[in-house]
Amino acid sequence: MVNLKSDTAMENKKKNMKRSNITQLIFSFIIIILINVIGYFVFFRADLTSEKRYSLSKTTKDLLKNLDDIVYFKVYLEGDFPAGFKRLHNETKEMLDEFRAYNKNIQYEFYDPNTITNKKERNELYKQLVAKGLQPTNLQVKDKGATKQQIIFPCAEVTYKNKTIPLELLNSQLGLESESVINNSIQALEYNISNTIRKLSIRSKPKVAIIEGQGELRKIDLYDITTSLSEYYQVEFVHLKDSVNGKFSVNINSLTDHPDSDTSKTKIRNKYTAIIIAKPTLAFTDREKFVIDQFVMYGGKVLWLVDPVFTSMDSLKESNHTVAVTNEINLTDQLFKYGVRLNTNLIQDLNALPIPTVVGKVGGQPQIKFMPWYYFPIIMPTSKHPIVNNLNAIKTEFVSSIDTIENNVKKTILLSSSNYSRLVNAPVIIDLEIQKKKPDTRMFNKPFQPVAVLLEGTFESNFIHNMTPEITESKLIGFMTKSVPTSMIVVADGDIIKNQLHYSKGYPLPLGYDQFTKQTFGNKEFVLNCMNYLTDGASLITVRSRELKLRMLNKTEMDESRLKWQLINVIVPVLLVLLFGIIQVYLRKRKYSV
- Render pLDDT for 34-63 as a digit per residue (tens, 0 to 9): 877 776 666 555 665 655 666 788 888 888
Indicate whether 151 and 246 sit together in one domain: no
Is residue 139 over pLDDT 80? Answer: no
pLDDT of residue 433: 84
pLDDT tens digits, 11-32: 776 677 777 778 888 888 888 8
Question: Is 52 part of any domain?
Answer: no
Q: Print the domain residue range for 9.
A: 1-44
Question: Given 166, 184, 200, which residue is the final one in a domain?
Answer: 200
Number of domains in the chain: 4
| CB 147 within 8 Å of CB 139 | no
Q: Who contacts 474 (Cβ-Cβ below 8 Å, separation ≥6)?
A: 262
Question: Is 538 part of any domain?
Answer: yes
Question: Given 200, 234, 259, which residue is the final one in a domain?
Answer: 200
Indicate whether 193 and 212 sit together in one domain: no
Indicate whether 520 and 384 sit together in one domain: yes
Q: Which range has the worst mean pLDDT, 186-195, 410-419, 466-475, 508-517?
A: 466-475
Mean pLDDT of 111-132: 87
Indicate whether 214 and 312 sit together in one domain: yes
Indicate whether 384 and 492 sit together in one domain: yes
> DSSP readout, 257-302?
E--SSS-TTSPPEES-SEEEEE---SPPPHHHHHHHHHHHHTT-EE
Indicate whether 124 and 169 sit together in one domain: yes
pLDDT of residue 115: 85
Indicate whether 369 and 235 sit together in one domain: yes
pTM beyond cutoff 0.85: no
pLDDT of residue 249: 67
Mean pLDDT of 479-501: 95
Indicate whether 357 and 313 sit together in one domain: yes
**CA distances from residue 243 to 239, 251, 254 in whole angstroms, order as listed:** 10, 9, 12
Question: Given 169, 200, 231, which residue is the final one in a domain?
Answer: 200
* Strand 410-416 with 163-168, pairing: unpaired
Instruction: Indicate the DSSP class of residue 497.
Output: G
How many Å apart are CA 409 and CA 296, to the nearest integer? 13
Which is more confident, 17 or 583? 583
pLDDT of residue 559: 63
Q: Taking the CA of residue 180 as centre, how many other CA atoms within 13 Å lie in the half-sphere pointing to its CB?
A: 8
Mean pLDDT of 392-417: 95
Taking phi first (over 0 means left), then psi (-120 to 50 degrees means alpha), and beta for anything else, what does residue 591 get? Answer: alpha
Q: Taking the CA of residue 299 as centre, how many other CA atoms within 13 Å lie in the half-sphere pointing to its CB?
A: 11
Model confidence at 239, in pLDDT bands (50, 70, 90)?
Answer: very high
Indicate whether 117 and 231 sit together in one domain: no
Indicate whether 491 and 569 sit together in one domain: no
